[in-house]
Every structure is written in C-alpha cells, then in structure tokens.
Amino acid sequence: MARWTISKWELKNTLESKKFLTIFLAQLVVLFIMGSFFTSFMTSIESEDGINLNPSLKGFGSLDINDSDGLFTKNIDSEILKIKKANTTSYESLKNSEINGLINIKKDNKTQKMDYNLILDYSDPKSIVVKSEVESTSNKTSKIITQEFINKNKTTNSNNEVKEETKGVSIPVQLINKIMTALLLFLPVFLFGNLVIDSIVGEKERKTGEILIAMPISRSNIILGKSLGIICIMAIQLFLWIIIMTIIGFDLVSPALIYLLIILTAIPIVGVGTVVAVYSKNYKESEIGSNFAYLVLVIILIIPALASIIRPGFGTSSTITLVIKIFSKESLSLRDIFNPIITVVVVSIITYGLSIWMYNKDEIIFGPRPKIIKSLLKFLRINKIINKIKR
C-alpha cells in the first residue's frame, strides 16, 4: 500500500509540473516532425526512381551520346547534363575539355541486351557527376527493357512461363527502415529514464530525502514506488507515441504486443537509472553516470538487432531484436521470446536489488560514501569471502 502511495505522489507531482508538460508536448511535436520526414524519406528510397543525390544544377555537365535506339537518351536527366548527339569530332571535343563525357550505346535487338562504352576525362571533376548519372540512367533503362521483355512474353505465352520475381527491398533499406522504426518506438524509454534520477537526486539536493526516509515507509517501497510512478508516465507517453506514428503512416505490426514489450524494457532501464541516482551525490554526478549507462544500454540493445538483420538466423537476445522480428513477420521460436524476457527479468532483479541495498545504507545516502568497487563487493558479499581467505 505504501508503495502505491509513493507512486501516486510521483505521478501527481510530475504531471502537475509545467516544466514536464512543456517538455512532454515538445517531444511529441518533434516526434511528429521526425516521423513525417522519415516516412517521406523511406517512400522515396523504396520508389522505382529512388533519390537522386547529384547536385540539382541545370546544365552542370555535357555529354555526347551515340544512341541509335534513343531509349537511353530519353531516360537521362537533361536538367543535369546537356545532351548532344555524338559525331566524328566528339572525341576531340572531350580531349579539349569542351564536353565532359562521350558514350556509345550498343543494343542487341535479339537478346535485348544493352551495353555502353563511356569515355571520361578523370582529371575533370565533373566526370564524377557524369559517371553517376550514366550509371543511374543505365539501371533505369535496364528495368524498362526487362519489363518490356516480360510483358511481351506474357502476351505470347499463354501458360505464362515467364514470370517477374520480386526480391523485396535491399538489405540497407531494410536496415534503415526496421532499425529506425524500432528506435523511434523505444525513444520514450530513454527520454524519460532520467525522471527517476531527477526524483531521487532532487530530494538529496533539496534535503527532503531525510524527511521521506523518516516517514513510516520502508526504503524499498520508496525506491519501488518512485520507479513504478516513472514507468506509468513512460506508458502514457508511449501510448501517445504509437498513436502518432500510426497517424503519420508507420505500419506497426501487432502494436499491442510491441507496446507491452517496450514497457517491459522500461523496467530494467528505470532500474539502471535508479542505481545511478541512489549512488550519485548531485545532478552533475548523476548526469555523467546516466549518460554512460544509457550509452552502454543502447549498444547492448542495438548490436544484436543489427546482427539479426544482417544474419537472419541470429538469435534474439534483446527486446529491440524481438520487435524487429515481429515487424518482419518472422516465425518466432520459444527461444526468441524467452531470451529477451529472461534478460529483462535478470537485469531488473540486479538493478532494483542493488538500488534498494544502497538506499538502505546511510553511508551512501548521507555519507561518507564508499567507492563504487567497494560497494559492489559488499553487495555481492565478495568482501566476506576475501576476508575469510586472508584469515
């Protein structure tokens, strides 16, 4: 009961804070802008034309083309390159830097195979843009030729033996899409993980922690109550977060399950913040400690996620990896489900156990505070083993 009382105080004080509400709304606005930009970016990448990264300078370079069929010339971007039909003087013009490139297109009408021979002066910086545009046009033209060949065979063959096979989005695009979507979903957990630090360290600096400890509430209930209050606040923002992402256009598979997994992940992350807060003397110490701790947590969560995309057979060891596999609609084994859950449970037990143990030590709360290593040895009872060995 006392634990819930602390949680209610924490929720009430946080939600009534104008500073918190301002930050809360600002983060939602930033998410909406980031999400809109990201969905537009991914739509452009996944489109047939892709994104043109060449400078948008009209007439930036010039290219002479020998193209009897005219298909290549039709598809090249005339906004970037000045296009002219090649003639006998084109090679001399290239040597004299009057043009930036010369290309000969060869197309076999029987096999529909298209080759090109591009001649460039690599001492000219503009040759990079010309080469990039030629390669882009070549890919675009090849797709058109392939599609025409497929359509022709579909028409002439009633049994439709010729079929177009779609291999899906490339690995780099999958990597950007899945990882960025997962990171956006997990963002509230890291944004509001510092709330528990602000709550505990703030009481130390305001000297109100002594009053709280003197109340007829166990110290373990104080730690667990504050942490529970912060997790409830995270749950509220995450709920709004998912609604906004759905409105923007993110295709979230099993949003209710993902919501529960992220809330589950918030428990040990808040626990890590609690450890830092209990041990820290002031805001400066807690800021340094929390930044380092959260950086390590992000690395631990993201590296397995990257490995699972690059190597599909890689096991699931973090909740982000599990969320990505849910996005991919992969079949999940019991190992995929239980590994991240067991990790969350173990880390939660360790972090909250350590936090409660430290909060019950007056030398850590009021000082003189022992060093980190000495405190950890005491918590793990290793110091007793060492003393027995010395005797």
C-alpha distance across the termini of the chain, in Å: 46
Instruction: Provide the pLDDT for residue 164.
Output: 46
> Among all chains, which residue has been given the structure tokens 């110290």?
219
Identify the top-confidence range among 30-34, 146-150, 219-223. 219-223
Instruction: Provide the pLDDT for residue 166.
Output: 44
Question: Quick one: pLDDT band at residue 309, thresholds 50, 70, 90?
Answer: low
Tokens of 227: 């942490």
Instruction: Provide the pLDDT for residue 168.
Output: 42
Cα gap 51→379, rounded to integer Å: 55
**What mean pLDDT is predicted for residues 123-145?**
82
Cα gap 26→318, rounded to integer Å: 29
**DSSP-derived pairing of the beta strands 101-108 and 113-120:** antiparallel
> In sequence order, which residues have a C-beta less than 8 Å from that of residue 225 and are 6 or more positions away?
2, 3, 4, 5, 6, 7, 9, 10
Bridge partners, residue 92, by sequence: none
Identify the top-confidence range among 20-24, 153-157, 206-210. 20-24
Of 11 and 50, the one with more pLDDT: 11
Tokens of 69: 């069929």
Give the SS3 label for residue 279.
Answer: helix
DSSP 105: E
The domain spans of the chain are 2-42+169-360, 61-156
Whether the pLDDT of residue 167 is over 50: the answer is no
Instruction: Provide the pLDDT for residue 107.
Output: 72
Identify the top-confidence range among 89-103, 128-142, 309-323. 89-103
Give the SS3 label for residue 13.
Answer: helix
Rounded to the nearest integer, the mean pLDDT of the chain is: 78
Instruction: Provide the pLDDT for residue 379.
Output: 66
Nearest to 244 by CA among 43, 45, 25, 46: 25
Give the SS3 label for residue 361.
Answer: coil
CB 283 within 8 A of CB 290: no
Tokens of 85: 């039909």
CA 83 to chain centre: 42
**What mean pLDDT is predicted for residues 148-164?**
58
What is the per-residue pLDDT across 208-263, written as a single tens digit (0 to 9) for each?
Answer: 777 878 888 888 888 888 889 888 888 988 898 888 888 887 878 888 999 999 99
Question: Quick one: pLDDT band at residue 129, thresholds 50, 70, 90?
Answer: confident
**What mean pLDDT is predicted for residues 187-216?**
78
Cα gap 348→341, rounded to integer Å: 11
Of 384 and 16, the one with more pLDDT: 16
Of 151 and 65, the one with more pLDDT: 65
Whether the pLDDT of residue 391 is over 80: the answer is no
Instruction: Provide the pLDDT for residue 375.
Output: 67
The Cα diameter of the chain in Å comes to 98
| One-letter identity of residue 71 | L
**What mean pLDDT is predicted for residues 137-153?**
76
Instruction: Provide the pLDDT for residue 381.
Output: 64
Whether the pLDDT of residue 198 is over 70: the answer is yes
Question: Quick one: pLDDT band at residue 42, thresholds 50, 70, 90?
Answer: low
Identify the weakest region by mean pLDDT among 91-100, 202-211, 278-287, 334-343: 202-211
Instruction: Provide the pLDDT for residue 364.
Output: 78
Instruction: Provide the pLDDT for residue 384.
Output: 60
Instruction: Provide the pLDDT for residue 349.
Output: 94
- Indicate the pTM of the whole model: 0.63
Question: Quick one: pLDDT band at residue 170, thresholds 50, 70, 90?
Answer: very low
Cα gap 126→57, rounded to integer Å: 12
**What mean pLDDT is predicted for residues 111-127?**
80
Classified by CATH at the fold level, domain 61-156 comes out as D-Maltodextrin-Binding Protein; domain 2 (3.40.190)
Q: DSSP E strands: which ranges in 71-163?
A: 81-85, 101-108, 113-120
Whether the pLDDT of residue 54 is over 60: the answer is no
| One-letter identity of residue 217 | I
Cα gap 134→76, rounded to integer Å: 7
CB 118 within 8 A of CB 134: yes
Q: Rg of the Cα trace of the chain? A: 31
- Burial of residue 26, with CB atoms counted within 10 A of its CB: 0-12 exposed, 13-18 middle, 19 or more buried: exposed
**What mean pLDDT is predicted for residues 138-159?**
69
Instruction: Provide the pLDDT for residue 346.
Output: 93
Tokens of 219: 């110290």
